[in-house]
Amino acid sequence: MAKFGKQTVVILCYNTAMKKILQRAPKIVFIIFFLVMLMIISSCGNLPGLPNTDPSASPTNHGKITATSSITASPTAVRTEPSPTPTPTPVPAPTLQDFPEGIPRDSTDPVAEPERIANERGGWPAESSLHDFYAAELSQYRGRAEDASPLKGITVIVDPGHGGKDPGAIAGDCTEKVSNLQISLLLAERLRTYGAEVLLTRTEDEYVSLYKRIGLGSMFIAERALPRLAESGADTFWLRQLQADYQKMIEVNNDNVDPRRGEIGYRGQAQGIGVNELWRKHMDLQRLANDVLWLSIHSNSSLNTDIRGLKLFFNTNRGTVDLENRMLTKEPNCEILPANPSYHLYDDAARNRLAQFIYAEVIALVPELKDPADNPVLSGNYAFTREINLTSVLVEIGFMSNPEDLKIIIDPAKQAKVAEGIARAVYKHYTQ
């Protein structure tokens, strides 16, 4: 038997078995036995001592048991392009607020029952509707030296009043729009030497409506705030709605709502008196932006040419409500409605502080602009200090109707001193 291979032995056994099966078993048993034998024969190739029929086996490992490696082969790397950042779905400008039933939006009739409206419109609580996700830590600016970029991180929005088809006050050949821009450009240059970022609502003689100015300043705040709001995990839809509203204000560049005065413009969510729920968030957001100031540069005028001197104005909480309620008896429906709840979260103290600094610093450099009435800081109701809830001040640099003030307003050397005084006031506002 030693001279025969194992396959030969199997075949001989097979033949012997076949003879016996054919004699003793039915055909069905034969078939089953035949299949079993085929299976045994096919497995003989893997028996020890027989050649390995697997062509992929390594000859050096033949007959050996090898440990499985704990490190598996890495699959071939597949190069994938980074997924593009999804573009947010554009948000349309919010729907304009409804007027009371039966009153068309372009109605020039007087407001009916103004006292009732004043009593019923109510007011928002003097607390923010937003969590504090934006406000800067202003203590870092205290005590900073004047020669070390002390305002780095602060933004000042400088708003040169009037422009283009709107000349502002006129005195002979002099127009307010020109001197406003000249002083504003000097102010911007000086503020930048302090390290501040400066945005101008106009840099040339062009018309910019009041609500375009509001849209420009508000868009800056919104673009800065949006990623911070998103990082906080809060909903951002309302802010993107406001951005769409600001953008339309900017594009339309016309805030007229009275059909008697020409083409109707767009005031968006700022239409009417008081603030609706969405515009309240606009106001509360800007209240948080304590590292941004708004300065609107103008010159005054009066029929009384003896009146002169530097004046500063800002909206206060109490003053705004009182003036809005008085407007109910003086302005038509299209100007006043809708009558929303009043707003009570202007930072009166910060606005007054900035205004007092401006007056003191400008008068120190240009004493001729001292207010003879000694009442330079006043409450007013102006669109850009009412609808912009930054620390904001309207600066009226003398009266163009007064000959002495006019000389100062148009003199380049005096303009530079006025700009220097305002810039120093901003510096002191943050560092003292």
pLDDT tens readout for residues 348-404: 999 999 999 999 999 999 999 999 999 999 998 899 999 999 999 999 999 999 999
pLDDT at 135: 85
DSSP alpha helices (H): ranges in 105-175? 114-120
Distance between CA atoms of 420 and 403, rounded to whole angstroms?
23
Is 14 a residue whose pLDDT tops 50? no
pLDDT at 133: 92
Is 336 a residue whose pLDDT tops 50? yes
Confidence band (pLDDT; 50, 70, 90) for 147? confident
Is 309 a residue whose pLDDT tops 80? yes
Question: How far is Cα of residue 315 from the mean position of the Cα atoms in its chain?
Answer: 24
Of the candidate ranges 90-104, 205-219, 393-407, the one whose mean pLDDT is the lowest: 90-104
Once rounded to an integer, what is the mean pLDDT over residues 263-268? 97
Among 247, 277, 291, which residue's Cα sits nearest to residue 156?
291
CATH architecture, domain defined by 114-204+227-234+272-431:
3-Layer(aba) Sandwich (3.40)
pLDDT at 172: 96
Each domain of the chain, given as residue ranges in start order, spans 114-204+227-234+272-431
- Average pLDDT of the chain is 85
HSE-CB for 27 with a 13 A CA cutoff: 0
- Residue 325 CA: distances (Å) to CA of 117, 206, 320, 364: 9, 34, 9, 38
Pairing relationship of beta strands 170-171 and 174-175 according to DSSP bridges: antiparallel
Element holding 10 (H helix, E strand): helix 6-24
